[in-house]
Structure 1
Amino acid sequence: MFFDRSNPSWDHPEFGESLPQQIYKHILKNIIEGNIKAGEKIVEEDVSKELNTSRAPVREALYLLQVDGIVERIPRRGTVVRTFAQHEIIEYNDVTIELLRVAVDYSRDKWNEENRSTLRMYIEELNYEFENKNVIPYQIKAQQLLKFLLFVADNKALTRFYDEASHILKVFAQTQWNIKTVENFHANFHIFAESLLLPDYDRAKEAIYHALKQGVIRG
């Protein structure tokens, strides 16, 4: 098991975050980025040594991950990263779609030239990873673009709900996506991003619906 100590959320935690919350985010990041695979065991002692902390906050972080459905405790095996049933993925996906469509509406009057310039940068980076068939980097860039949409929408409640719903989908993508899934997803995701630039917000909302629907089809 490998933990990325360069994670900025570990060295620079958000204001008010407890140590277990920081460790939670640290473990989750490693799951999303493929450093910890579905079905792999997470050992409290290993994490505490990697992060130079006691086992108590690690235990609490794993409990938080269990509550959110990211990991599960299996008798005689310990804590492992969950493998998700298709119906669970579809439910989380449907919620995420609606949250993003609401975010598009909240962002309508907030796309100034600076925000558009940043969005163009994300689109260019996304297209680069797509053209080079880099599955994991593509997933990361797509998530960055969606988080930027939430940033522009500037609704804290919406961002919090999105973060909670999208965790499961990130883990699913890390374990199940291949280049065919990326191709199916990108066809509509590119339309979504370009429609925000035009702007054509109704088309953007339609495109993100179709993109995320394609994203949960096993390629």
Structure 2
Amino acid sequence: MFGNTSNLTDGIYFGESLPQQIAKHILKKIIEGEIETGEKIVEEDISKELNTSRAPVREALYLLQVDGIVERIPRRGTIVKPFSQKEIVEYNDVTIGLIQMGIEFSQGKWKTENKQSLRKHLDSTIDMCEKSNVIEYQKKAEQIFRYIFSIAENKALSRFFEEASHILMVFAQSQWSIETMENFHSRLKMSIEGILEDDFIKAKNEIHEALNRGVM
């Protein structure tokens, strides 16, 4: 992804510390399956890949450890944390609540142009679903939720969502099938249609069903 550390300040990484940028880089590799659950993350390999010292990589792994994405095992090193079904359900329940609150706070703020943008986001998920591209679909679905939070204009909700969604994305990377994606999408589509119709009760109910289907 990055040939050297100067590129780490490009795009979505701009304005963040080097360890934060590296942490996002590692997280992206985990979500996209380049580093699998239970696999050891080798500091030296990451530092060589990014042409940086091992110190910021070590700090990046600590940030991911705090977020619950990785764990340090004595005499083994840092691995991608495997999650129990109980943990996934707990994170999922929290995420449902956050998105429902985002939908609630967004009421009265959906102007015509906002709805048009939301429709475009939905169309992107439809495209990925039809192409059976699970990983890209997950990214597009997450963009929908971020957009809802941006309309809700609640930074706290957005921050909490980011923390919980990282766990779910790592889980989904290893557990989602095309069937899971299709089941999730059918309900996500109805939730977004609820927002477009100003039927926010429908939107909240359907997002509850969508996320539950994502962890079944």
- Which interval holds the TM-score relative to the shorter structure? over 0.9
One-letter amino acid of the structure 2 residue matched with residue 196 of structure 1: I
Is the 1:181–1:214 Cα contact (8 Å) retained in structure 2? yes
One-letter amino acid of the structure 1 residue matched with residue 85 of structure 2: Q
One-letter amino acid of the structure 2 residue matched with residue 150 of structure 1: F
Aligned to 1:49: 48
One-letter amino acid of the structure 2 residue matched with residue 5 of structure 1: F
Counting only pairs closer than 5 Å after superposition, residues 1-219 of structure 1 correspond to structure 2 as: 4-5=1-2, 10-12=9-11, 13-15=13-15, 17-217=16-216
Is the 1:10–1:23 Cα contact (8 Å) retained in structure 2? no
Is the 1:184–1:214 Cα contact (8 Å) retained in structure 2? yes
Runs of 4+ off more than 6 Å: none
One-letter amino acid of the structure 1 residue matched with residue 111 of structure 2: N
Shift of 1:67: 1.5
CA distance 1:9–1:177, change in 2 (3 Å): farther
CA distance 1:14–1:160, change in 2 (3 Å): farther
One-letter amino acid of the structure 1 residue matched with residue 104 of structure 2: D
Is the 1:39–1:80 Cα contact (8 Å) retained in structure 2? yes
In structure 2, how many angstroms separate the alpha carbons of the residues matched to 1:200 and 1:47? 47
Calculate the TM-score normalised by the size of structure 2. Answer: 0.93
Is the 2:103–2:204 Cα contact (8 Å) retained in structure 1? yes
One-letter amino acid of the structure 2 residue matched with residue 104 of structure 1: I
In structure 1, how many angstroms separate the alpha carbons of the residues matched to 2:77 and 2:68? 15
In structure 2, how many angstroms separate the alpha carbons of the residues matched to 1:25 and 1:120? 28
In structure 1, how many angstroms separate the alpha carbons of the residues matched to 2:149 and 2:191? 14
Aligned pairs, number = 212
CA distance 1:10–1:32, change in 2 (3 Å): farther
Instruction: Compare 32-41 and 101-110 and name the one that shifted more.
Output: 32-41
Q: Gaps spanning 5+ residues in structure 1: where?
A: none
Shift of 1:48: 1.0
In structure 1, how many angstroms separate the alpha carbons of the residues matched to 2:101 and 2:77? 39
Shift of 1:65: 0.7
Once the two structures are superposed, residues 41-72 of structure 1 have per-residue CA deviations (whole angstroms, 9 ceiling, x without a partner) of 21111111111211111101101111211011
One-letter amino acid of the structure 1 residue matched with residue 158 of structure 2: T
In structure 2, how many angstroms separate the alpha carbons of the residues matched to 1:102 and 1:85? 26
Once the two structures are superposed, residues 103-155 of structure 1 have per-residue CA deviations (whole angstroms, 9 ceiling, x without a partner) of 00111121112211111111111111112221111111111111111111111
Calculate the TM-score normalised by the size of structure 1. Answer: 0.91
Query: Which secondary structure state, in structure 2, belongs to the residue aligned with residue 39 of structure 1?
Result: coil
In structure 1, how many angstroms separate the alpha carbons of the residues matched to 2:144 and 2:29? 19
Taking only the aligned residue pairs, the percentage that are identical comes to 58
In structure 1, how many angstroms separate the alpha carbons of the residues matched to 2:211 and 2:41? 29
In structure 2, how many angstroms separate the alpha carbons of the residues matched to 1:105 and 1:9? 36
Query: Which secondary structure state, in structure 2, belongs to the residue aligned with residue 115 of structure 1?
Result: helix
